[in-house]
Structure 1
Amino acid sequence: MLKENKGKIIITSLIILLPVIVGIYFWGELPDPMATHFSFDNEANGWSPRAFAVFGLPLFLLVIHGVCLAAVTLDPKRKSINGKMLQMIMLICPVCSIFCSIQIYGYALGMDVDGRVLAHLLLGTIFVLIGNYIPKCRHNYTVGIRLPWTLADEENWNSTHHMAGWLYMAAGLACLANIWLRVSWLTFVAIMAAVLVPAGYSLLLYVKKKGKSGK
């Protein structure tokens, strides 16, 4: 997998590190410490040293990028992973790096950047895309809803991912709609539902099947 996508891996890794170049260019204009965490209302509520904001965050995302790619490569069932889902895995960290840098540098330089809009746009888009492709992701050990019941039973895997696809898309659309709705609890509820409901559904399928086999 690494050899086949060597060019894409290099490009996505460079994109992740692009904010470092921006940070070096504006180094003298950036405050120390810098705001690196923001509330739902776009108020800064967490700060980090300038060096960490410029170098640490992109490097952290680069490490996560490498770990994700390595995990997919080492998966004995990696050929079962949907090709478009693999492309998404390669794009998530670069996109997050760019979005985070826009918010962090924009705020530090006094620009009018609405981090709430950026966060909802990023979350909504990711959930919609995952919801579209995850039902097509065949049984594997790395990408998907990895629970004891889904990993042990391919039928459970397929049913859970089919249902989760619709739920993820609904959660993504809720996040996107909340850019205009501005309902403080909506995004949290949508994300929690997308995480917990498929897990509960998978467990229900397992219990139901176990009950039938017990009879």
Structure 2
Amino acid sequence: MKIKINKEIILSTICCFIPTILCIFVYDKLPGSLPIHFDASGNPDGYVSKEIFIFVMPFVYAALNLLVNVFINNDPKRKNASKVIFTLSKWIIPILTILFCFISILSALYENINTSTFVLALMGLVFIIIGNYLPKCKQNYTMGVKLPWTLNSEENWNKTHRLSGFIWVIAGIIQIASAFFRLPQAIFLTSVAVMVIVPIAYSFILYKKGI
């Protein structure tokens, strides 16, 4: 497995340390522990010490970012992937690191802030973007609905990804609606389950039909 270091990998890895830089400026204002997990209502329910959050977690995210880039760059069929999804996949770790660390910092500084609206809306937007490009994603081993049946048949792959793209866009819209209109949590959870289960079931049905 080749590890090719380029400007994109260096820049994306550096971005994983932006929260550290931000925390240093407000270090004295931060409490002894910061939230890293939130419940369905947006309330923090998991914490780590300030030192671990600032000086340890960014290295974990940076290492994960390097690992993701190595796998993507060494995919034998990487040229088949949609360029947008390919680029998004390589930047997803630093982007999420910055956004969610920023949410954690705000939650630590301002106890009354509700993070659920922002998180759900962001997730919905990501789902819509991915859903729009899934039908354009050709067979590869890194991105998309990678199942034995989709990887075995190009027709199965294409049909499964067309359906998946539609479902992901609808689920993204539901998530954004949940963020701003406080839809029942069951609707949000059902949409996520449909995103995962339906494409798998559909792909298997196509396989049984010889596609």
- How far is the alpha carbon of 1:2 from its aligned partner? 7.7
- Give 1:20's aligned residue: 20
- How far is the alpha carbon of 1:7 from its aligned partner? 2.6
TM-score, normalised to structure 1, is 0.89
- The one-letter code sitting in structure 1 at the alignment partner of 2:58 is P
Are the aligned partners of 1:124 and 1:171 in contact in 2 as well (CA < 8 Å)?
yes
Query: Which structure 1 residue ranges, 5 or more long, are not aligned?
Result: 211-215
Determine the C-alpha separation between the residues in 2 that align with 1:58 and 1:193.
Answer: 33
- Give 2:192's aligned residue: 191
After superposition, residues 136-155 of structure 1 pair within 5 angstroms as: 136-155=136-155
- The one-letter code sitting in structure 1 at the alignment partner of 2:173 is L
Question: SS where residue 173 of structure 1 aligns?
Answer: helix
Question: SS where residue 48 of structure 1 aligns?
Answer: strand
- Give 2:87's aligned residue: 87
After superposition, residues 1-215 of structure 1 pair within 5 angstroms as: 6-110=6-110, 113-183=113-183, 184-209=185-210
Determine the C-alpha separation between the residues in 1 that align with 2:194 and 2:22.
Answer: 37
Determine the C-alpha separation between the residues in 2 that align with 1:124 and 1:162.
Answer: 18
- Give 1:213's aligned residue: none
Determine the C-alpha separation between the residues in 2 that align with 1:185 and 1:52.
Answer: 34
Determine the C-alpha separation between the residues in 2 that align with 1:56 and 1:172.
Answer: 32
Determine the C-alpha separation between the residues in 2 that align with 1:111 and 1:64.
Answer: 30
- The percentage of counterpart residues that share the same residue type is 30
Determine the C-alpha separation between the residues in 1 that align with 2:189 and 2:55.
Answer: 30
- The one-letter code sitting in structure 2 at the alignment partner of 1:128 is I
- The one-letter code sitting in structure 2 at the alignment partner of 1:164 is S
Moved more, 179-188 or 97-106: 179-188
- How far is the alpha carbon of 1:89 from its aligned partner? 1.0
Question: SS where residue 210 of structure 2 aligns?
Answer: helix
Question: SS where residue 193 of structure 1 aligns?
Answer: helix
Are the aligned partners of 1:33 and 1:48 in contact in 2 as well (CA < 8 Å)?
yes
RMSD over equivalenced CA pairs, Å: 2.0
Question: SS where residue 144 of structure 2 aligns?
Answer: coil
- How far is the alpha carbon of 1:111 from its aligned partner? 6.1
Tell me the matched-pair count. 209
**What CA deviation, in whole Å up to 9, does each residue of 1:124-178 have, x standing for no partner?**
1111111011111111111111111111111111110111000011111111111
Are the aligned partners of 2:17 and 2:58 in contact in 1 as well (CA < 8 Å)?
yes
**What CA deviation, in whole Å up to 9, does each residue of 1:39-81 have, x standing for no partner?**
1222221111212222333322222221221111111111111
Question: SS where residue 35 of structure 1 aligns?
Answer: strand
4+ runs of 1 displaced by more than 4 Å?
none
TM-score, normalised to structure 2, is 0.91
